[in-house]
Amino acid sequence: MINTEVIDVLDHVDAVSDMILQSDIYHAYRLARQEMNEDETAQAHYQTFMKNKVQYDEVMRFGKYHPDYQTASRATRKSKRDYEMVPSVMAYKQKEVELQNLVDEVITIIATSISDNVKIEVGNPFFRTDMHGCSTGGSCQCQVHA
């Protein structure tokens, strides 16, 4: 049921969203994405990776018993690594993580303003430096503020 409280919350969500879209972090992310998309080296490596991935997916229908499993697996890993090592791709991925961290931080602030007991699953735990794990001792990767 929609009432004025729900509409007010939705208006605030729109305002927060607009603030994120106006942030320096978001603008840096957009610029990095554009530079990556315009980088011919990155696009060539991406096309090679996608070609290898299609072959790998075809081989994986039969699993590790397919005669080309090792070759397809190695080629896919190598082409992915080559793509991810292109400077424009590395810059884009860094900006992507920064944007995700900003969104995670906003989500955490909103959730903890409701209750300190709210469990929040945010972002990729491998990129987070402030992850504490679940307060219940589980492995749900939720973020808990002490």
Q: Distance (Å, rounded) from C-alpha 116 to C-alpha 55?
A: 48
Q: Give 63's DSSP letter.
A: G
Q: Give 62's DSSP letter.
A: T
Domains of the chain: total: 1
Asked whether residue 95 is domain-assigned, the answer is: yes
Asked whether residue 74 is domain-assigned, the answer is: yes
Residue 6 near residue 62 (C-beta atoms within 8 A) = no
Residue 141, pLDDT > 50, answer: no
Asked whether residue 77 is domain-assigned, the answer is: yes
Asked whether residue 140 is domain-assigned, the answer is: no
Which CATH number characterizes residue 110's domain?
Answer: 1.20.1500.10
Residue 126, pLDDT > 80, answer: no
| pLDDT tens column, 12-58 | 999 999 999 999 999 999 999 999 999 999 999 999 999 999 999 99
Asked whether residue 100 is domain-assigned, the answer is: yes
Q: What is the pLDDT of residue 10?
A: 87
What string of DSSP letters covers 87-114? Answer: HHHHHHHHHHHHHHHHHHHHHHHHHHHH
Q: Which is more confidently placed, 122 or 145?
A: 122
Q: What is the pLDDT of residue 129?
A: 47
Residue 71, phi then psi, degrees to nearest 5? -65, -50
Q: What is the pLDDT of residue 73?
A: 95
Residue 5, pLDDT > 90, answer: no
Contacts of 123 (CB under 8 A, 6+ apart): 100, 101, 103, 104
Task: Estimate the crossing angle of helix 87-114 against helix 69-84, to 10 degrees.
Answer: 80
Q: What is the pLDDT of residue 76?
A: 97
| pLDDT tens column, 78-96 | 999 999 999 999 999 999 9
Asked whether residue 139 is domain-assigned, the answer is: no
Q: What is the pLDDT of residue 115?
A: 83
Asked whether residue 123 is domain-assigned, the answer is: no
Range of the domain at 60: 4-116
In single-letter form, the type of residue at position 72 comes to A
